[in-house]
């Protein structure tokens, strides 16, 4: 697909819904206002043509921080589409990567061997699923052209075991058999002819070469012809100030720049982590009329067990909150704000803890009318709850994984439904997150 097939102008959508739309970048939050403005506001800088660089103070009664992540490419020197690796984190990145991938495929058609390095580009990156999906699609494209004998596809990940996916791994129900996601993931990669490097933290990328440390403390380097490495995620970089102009960013945000919410951020060892540590309503503990949804909220801790090399390097995935969970959280935040406005009350009847919420993920593994494939996986709950489910950490009857053509058609259908919903067309609200 071309970029214009997966993007659309927001202004007409919001105008149709009576929403004031400002194409601007948020710079700072002022929850208490200032000497001139007696209520909360966000200072923004316009990016639209004709107003670029202009600043404005946008006042609010309620604030929802839903920025998504900052793609923290600079945390790994040499990483990113403007330097020495590819990315699929935006439509422009994916478009650029596809053109670079086609160059490698053309070289293979001329008999030239190519090495593809796909995975995580930082020792604590998340979103393994996006990279995993891309690795399978490369293998599919290579095999479709009959070029597998000229390809070396390598999966590099910071996971302790494959199939961790930043959620501590899972056990899935496959045809009545309980299988760890480690076995599920390894079998899929093996089927597609992909070899793997696990427990690896990439710390530098140079032209055609990646450098990484493994959990045992040893340093390695690997050469490639094409790489796609997911960066670490951080908060958007917003600052916060009180009424006197004092910087209160450390009160509002966690050190990674994501907003603190109603989670238990008390430092505690891994063995004491509980599902109840995770937030329910995504409300700021510092200001009652501020909320954060999706990746913008700071998790209390990871879901995967923290690991550290002898050199002190933390090598493990951070917690994912993309896709379905973000949609559900956003909806619940909106419902609670609407309730507060309509009733004048300050309680929250709606909740969406990741420790109670289920999620479905469909990983594309090749495109085609009859030959497309996708791995479909559901987990319930997202955050393992060993108190409720002492054997597997999750409801084994609701945590399943399968791969096949049906998943491909589900993925394609969901793609168009997602765009339809995002455009707020007739009946959009009945389409589930």
**Helix boundaries (H) for 199-320:** 249-252
Q: How many residues does the chain have?
A: 433
Q: Judge residue 237's burial from the number of C-beta atoms within 10 Å of its C-beta, 0-12 exposed, 13-18 middle, 19 or more buried.
A: middle
Question: Which residue in the block uniquely carries the two structure tokens 């909320």?
Answer: 291
Q: What is the pLDDT of residues 129-165, one digit of tens each?
A: 999 999 999 999 999 999 999 999 999 999 999 999 9
Q: What is the DSSP string of 59-91?
A: E-SSEEE----EEEGGGSTT-STTTTSB--SSH
Structure tokens at 371: 């030959």
pLDDT digits (tens, 9 = 90+) for 253-298: 999 999 999 999 999 999 999 999 999 999 999 999 999 999 999 9
**Could you please report the per-residue DSSP string of 326-341?**
HHHHHHHHHHHHHHHH
pLDDT of residue 2: 85
Does the structure show a pLDDT above 80 at 124?
Answer: yes
**Rama region for 385: left / alpha / beta (φ>0; ψ in -120 to 50; rest):** beta
Q: Token digits for 282?
A: 């995504």
Instruction: Please tell me which residue, 211 or 401, carries the higher pLDDT value.
Output: 211
pLDDT at 33: 96
Contact criterion met (CB below 8 Å) for 31 and 286: yes
pLDDT digits (tens, 9 = 90+) for 184-238: 899 999 999 999 999 999 999 999 999 999 999 999 999 999 999 999 999 999 9
**Listed residue (231, 234, 239, 212) closest to 223, CA to CA:** 212
Q: What is the mean pLDDT of the chain?
A: 95
Predicted confidence band at 31 (pLDDT cuts at 50, 70, 90)?
Answer: very high
- Predicted TM-score of the model (pTM): 0.95
pLDDT at 299: 97
Mean pLDDT of 76-91: 96
Query: How many Å is the Cα radius of gyration of the chain?
Result: 22
Residue 371: pLDDT band by 50, 70, 90 thresholds? confident
Nearest CA to 202 out of 85, 363, 91 is that of 85
CA distance 164 to 199: 11
At which residue do the structure tokens 């994912």 appear?
320
Place of tokens 């949609």: 327
Angle, to 10 degrees, between the axis of helix 128-144 and the axis of helix 91-109? 30
User: Tokens 């999706």 belong to which residue?
Assistant: 294
- Count Cβ atoms within 10 A of the Cβ of residue 245 and give its class: 0-12 exposed, 13-18 middle, 19 or more buried: exposed
Summarize the confidence of residues 338-355 as an average pLDDT: 97
pLDDT at 174: 79
Task: Locate the domains of the chain by residue range.
Answer: 1-60
**CA–CA–CA angle 324, 329, 330 (5° rounding):** 100
Q: Which two tokens stand for residue 392?
A: 């597997």
The mean per-residue pLDDT over the stretch 381-409 comes to 93
Q: Region 91-98: what's the mean pLDDT?
A: 94
| pLDDT for 391 | 95
Closest listed residue to residue 125, CA positions, set 191, 190, 176, 80 = 80
Taking CA atoms, 131 is separated from 117, 329, 358, in Å, by 10, 24, 22
């Amino acid at each position: 697909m071309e970029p214009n097939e997966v993007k659309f102008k927001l202004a007409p959508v919001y105008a149709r819904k009576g929403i004031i739309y400002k194409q601007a970048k948020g710079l700072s939050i002022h929850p208490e206002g200032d000497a001139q403005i007696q209520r909360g506001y966000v200072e923004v800088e316009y990016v639209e043509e004709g107003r670029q660089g202009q600043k404005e103070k946008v006042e609010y009664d309620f604030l929802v921080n839903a920025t998504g992540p900052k793609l923290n490419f600079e945390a790994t020197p040499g990483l990113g589409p403007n330097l020495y690796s590819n990315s699929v984190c935006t439509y422009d990145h994916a478009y650029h990567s596809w053109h670079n991938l086609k160059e490698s495929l053309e070289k293979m058609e001329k008999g030239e061997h190519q090495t593809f390095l796909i995975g995580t580009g930082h020792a604590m990156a998340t979103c393994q699923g996006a990279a995993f999906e891309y690795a399978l699609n490369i293998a599919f494209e290579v095999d479709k052209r009959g070029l597998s004998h000229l390809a070396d596809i390598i999966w590099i990940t910071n996971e302790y075991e494959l199939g961790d996916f930043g959620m501590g791994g899972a056990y899935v129900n496959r045809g009545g058999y309980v299988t760890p996601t480690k076995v599920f993931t390894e079998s899929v990669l093996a089927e597609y002819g992909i070899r793997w490097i696990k427990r690896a933290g990439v710390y530098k990328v140079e032209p055609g070469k990646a450098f990484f440390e493994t959990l045992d403390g040893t340093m390695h380097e690997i050469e490639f012809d094409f790489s796609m490495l997911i960066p670490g995620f951080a908060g958007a970089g917003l600052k916060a100030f009180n009424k006197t102009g004092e910087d209160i960013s450390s009160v509002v945000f966690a050190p990674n720049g994501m907003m603190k919410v109603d989670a238990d951020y008390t430092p505690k060892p891994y063995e004491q982590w509980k599902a109840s540590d995770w937030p329910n309503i995504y409300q700021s503990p510092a200001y009652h009329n501020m909320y954060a949804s999706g990746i913008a909220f700071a998790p209390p801790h990871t879901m995967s067990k923290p690991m550290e090399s002898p050199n002190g390097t933390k090598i493990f995935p951070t917690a994912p909150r993309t896709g379905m969970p973000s949609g559900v959280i956003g909806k619940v935040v909106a419902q609670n704000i609407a309730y507060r406005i309509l009733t004048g009350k300050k309680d929250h009847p709606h909740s969406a803890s990741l420790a109670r919420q289920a999620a479905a993920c469909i990983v594309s593994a090749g495109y085609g009318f009859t030959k497309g494939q996708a791995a479909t996986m559901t987990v319930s709950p997202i955050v393992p709850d060993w108190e409720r489910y002492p054997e597997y950490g999750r409801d084994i009857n609701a945590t399943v994984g399968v791969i096949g053509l049906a998943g491909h058609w589900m993925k394609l259908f969901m793609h168009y439904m997602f765009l339809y919903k995002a455009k707020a067309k007739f009946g959009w609200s009945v389409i589930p997150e």
